[in-house]
Amino acid sequence: MESSSSKITDEIRAEASRLLSSGEVAAFLGFVPGSLPMTVRPFVARSSEDAARLVWNSFCVMNLANYLPEVLKSVEPPRGPGDPEPEGPLPRVGVLATGCWSRNMVVQIQENRIQRDRVVILGISSRGMVDRKKVLARLGGREALKVEEQDHSLLVSGRAFNEEIPRWEVVRDNCRSCVHPDPVIWDIMIGERAGDRQNANRFAQVEEIESLAPEERWAWFQEEISSCIRCYACRNACPLCYCPTCFVDDSRPQWVGKSIEPVDTAIFHILRAYHCAGRCTDCGACESACPMGIRMRLFTKKLEKDVLEMYGAEAGMDPETPLPLSTFSPDDPQDFIVTGQESPKSTGDEAGRSGEVSQS
Amino acid sequence: METKKWEPRIVAFLCNWCSYAGADLAGVSRYQYPPSLRIIRVPCSGRVSANMVLDALKSGADGVLVSGCHPGDCHYISGNMYARRRLALLKSLLEFIGIEPERFNVSWISASEGKQFAEVAREVTEKVRALGPARHLVKDF
Ligand code: SF4
Ligand code: SF4
Ligand code: SF4
Ligand code: FES
């Protein structure tokens, strides 16, 4: 039986080829197989021959929205900084989008990174992508030479072994907790829309950490990031991280040191996650890109939970609703505000105390 | 061994139009408050970024206070309303990774609230004093 991924691959090739040969789009952003099993790489098809190379499978873990602004720029006629806008509409780009990627595209529209009318979105309802690291862990050092995908299992084979792995068990954490697998914006739907997924508790991973004591949480945080080599692959994989100069590269002030000293690494992770607050769609590209298996998604997931609980908002669900941190409500919760009412009453002692310490 | 009594060091980002003036008023009205605050004047509470808060903690602050105008009173109309969302999320994230929530404080103090300023300064100082010196995000330079 043909797997649903290979059916989707056929449809993608047909649509991309049609769009490219009719001139509707100047380029089409998708994936081609990578050089190792269970990898794909982003690919820009510019002709229908290129389109025949596109694939869809359970290993499409990178978020295509990340590459979209550059591909759009690449199809524009070259112009210098002072040159006038070219006449007429600019060429368009076709792109694949699952639920989370399409929400990142919505964020990009809201942040003026892309224009809706310049993209042709082929929507795909995601069945969840597989975490290559989970598969490798199950193989325990044996090398997978070939991985064949079926709808509910992966057939992994290598030198002198064949193994069938139930697919859902190795699906990425973010996909397992996903509730919006369908694209929120699209032009052409590939396959059926699945509808919102029932998920008993999408924040279970976060709640588990929240239930720890403060010192245990700190220990968890330190442990989680301890192997970070500060390669910034997580940042580079993220469609939200497009600052011309990232804070990690600022030198005056130097927000974060260049070393892998634990404090610097901690600050990097806190601020990177924080910069994605109210914008992150939990696409998991950051985590999939990490060579060290760090689960930095948990930090953004915590922010996602807070934004939903405090402001009732989810990133990228609707281009018409402003991003949660670009707006406010007069009744936003503020129970954390310090009022001084818990302050010990002023006594004569206070004056004595301030007199006794001389600060340099 | 004789040691100087430990006093918390608290970096206070005060908005120019309200809280900084409130601190001034506390001074001229001779309200006593602990000498633990290192005041940094910012144009608006909306100017305070997470980067600045983390930088203060990294540089050895035992606590941080961000204070601006009361909701509705911001000189730039709504800077403090955006700040309220941002700072709430920052506070929660810091708590999530194991930083004591008492180390990061936000308050609203108007230019006429000298006494309140002294009370907030005292409350924040005492909370931080109870925790002891910051350990987690401090970098030895
Ligand atoms: S990708 Fe992983 S190792 Fe690289 S900076 Fe991010 S968390 Fe650290
Ligand atoms: S980590 Fe922050 S500063 Fe760096 S690129 Fe991402 S959003 Fe920009
Ligand atoms: S922070 Fe990670 S999960 Fe969130 S949008 Fe960026 S890459 Fe995706
Ligand atoms: S000017 Fe005081 S908070 Fe904006």
Q: Where are the domains of chain A?
A: 4-126+179-190, 204-325, 328-360
Task: Identify from B92, B99, B115 which residue to disrupt to test chain A contact, counting A C-beta atoms within 10 A and taking the largest count.
Answer: B92
Mean pLDDT over the full length of chain B:
95
Q: Residue A340 corresponds to which amino acid? A: G
The CATH code of the domain that includes B31 is 3.40.50
Residue nearest atom 4 of ligand 3, based on CA coordinates? A280
Q: Quick check: is B139 in a domain?
A: no
With a CB cutoff of 8 Å and minimum separation 6, the contacts of A142 are A158, A159, A161
Q: How many domains does chain B have?
A: 1
| Complex confidence, ipTM | 0.95
Q: What is the pTM of this model?
A: 0.93
Q: Quick check: is B140 in a domain?
A: no
Task: Give A258→chain B minimum CA distance, Å.
Answer: 13
Q: Quick check: is B109 in a domain?
A: yes
Helix axes A262-275, A297-311, angle to 10 degrees: 40
- The pLDDT confidence band at residue B2, using thresholds 50, 70 and 90, is low
Domain that holds residue B47: 10-131
**Do residues A93 and A118 lie in contact, with contact meaning Cβ atoms separated by under 8 Å?**
yes
Angle at A180 between CA A174 and CA A182, to 5 degrees: 115
pLDDT tens by residue, A271-323? 999 999 999 999 999 999 999 999 999 999 999 999 999 999 999 999 999 99
Residue A229 near ligand 1, beta carbon < 6 Å: yes
What's residue A165's pLDDT? 97
What's residue A121's pLDDT? 98
Q: Quick check: is B19 in a domain?
A: yes
**Do residues B83 and B45 lie in contact, with contact meaning Cβ atoms separated by under 8 Å?**
yes
Residue A351 near ligand 2, beta carbon < 6 Å: no
- Residue B31 φ then ψ, to 5°: -80, 130
With a CB cutoff of 8 Å and minimum separation 6, the contacts of B11 are B37, B38, B40, B56, B61, B63, B64, B65
Find residue B12's DSSP bridge partners.
Answer: B39, B65
What's residue A344's pLDDT? 67
Per-residue tens of pLDDT for chain A, all 360 residues: 578 999 999 999 999 999 999 999 999 999 999 999 999 999 999 999 999 999 999 999 999 999 999 999 999 998 888 888 888 899 999 999 999 999 999 999 999 999 999 999 999 999 999 999 999 999 999 999 999 999 999 999 999 999 999 999 999 999 999 999 999 999 999 998 988 888 889 999 999 999 999 999 999 999 999 999 999 999 999 999 999 999 999 998 999 998 889 999 999 999 999 999 999 999 999 999 999 999 999 999 999 999 999 999 999 999 999 999 999 999 999 999 999 888 766 544 444 334 333 343
pLDDT tens by residue, B116-137? 999 999 999 999 999 999 999 9
User: From the DSSP assignment, how many helices (H) and strands (E) are in chain A?
Assistant: 13, 9
What's residue A229's pLDDT? 96
